[in-house]
Amino acid sequence: MFNKSMQFAQTLLHGPMVRRGYATLIIKLLNLFLVLLLNVLLARTLGAEELGIYAFAVSVVTILSVPAMAGLPSLLVREVAKSHLLENWKLLKGVLLCSFQFSLLLSILLGVGIALFIELIIQSDQRSEDVGVLLLALLLIPVIALSELRAGALRGFKKIIEAQIPEMLIRPLGFMAGIATIATLGPVSAKTALLAHMLAASVAFIVGAFFLCKTLPAQLSKIRPSFEKRRWLRSMVPLTILTGMEVVNGQADILILGILATSEEVGLYRIAMQGAALVPLGLFSVNMVLGPYIAQSYAAGNQEKLQKFATISCRVSVAIAVLVTVVLVGFGDTLLVVLFGEEFGGGYWALVILATGYLLWVCFGSVILLLTMTGHDKEAMKGALIGAVGNIILNIVLIPPFGMIGAAFATITSLLIWNTLLLRAVRKKLRIDSSIFYRGGRG
Cβ atoms of 292 and 77 within 8 Å: the answer is: yes
Which of helix, strand or coil describes residue 239?
helix
Burial class (CB in 10 A: 0-12, 13-18, 19+), 52: buried
Residue 21 has pLDDT above 80, yes or no: no
* Residue 83's pLDDT band (cuts 50, 70, 90): confident
* Residue 99's pLDDT band (cuts 50, 70, 90): confident
Q: How many CB atoms lie within 10 A of CB 186?
A: 8
Domain boundaries, the chain: 2-429
* 284-302 mean pLDDT: 76
Burial class (CB in 10 A: 0-12, 13-18, 19+), 258: buried
Q: Return phi, psi of residue 224, to 5°.
A: -90, 140
CA distance 13 to 27: 19
CA distance 22 to 230: 38
pLDDT given at position 200: 93
**What is the per-residue pLDDT across 198-248, written as a single tens digit (0 to 9) for each?**
899 999 999 988 998 888 888 877 888 877 777 777 777 777 777 667 766
**What is the per-residue pLDDT across 296-353, written as a single tens digit (0 to 9) for each?**
778 777 878 888 888 888 898 899 899 999 999 999 888 888 877 777 788 889 999 9
Burial class (CB in 10 A: 0-12, 13-18, 19+), 231: exposed
pLDDT given at position 6: 46
Residue 11 has pLDDT above 70, yes or no: no
**What is the per-residue pLDDT across 176-195, written as a single tens digit (0 to 9) for each?**
998 888 888 888 888 888 89
* 263-278 mean pLDDT: 82
Q: What is the pTM of this model?
A: 0.63
Residue 17 has pLDDT above 70, yes or no: no
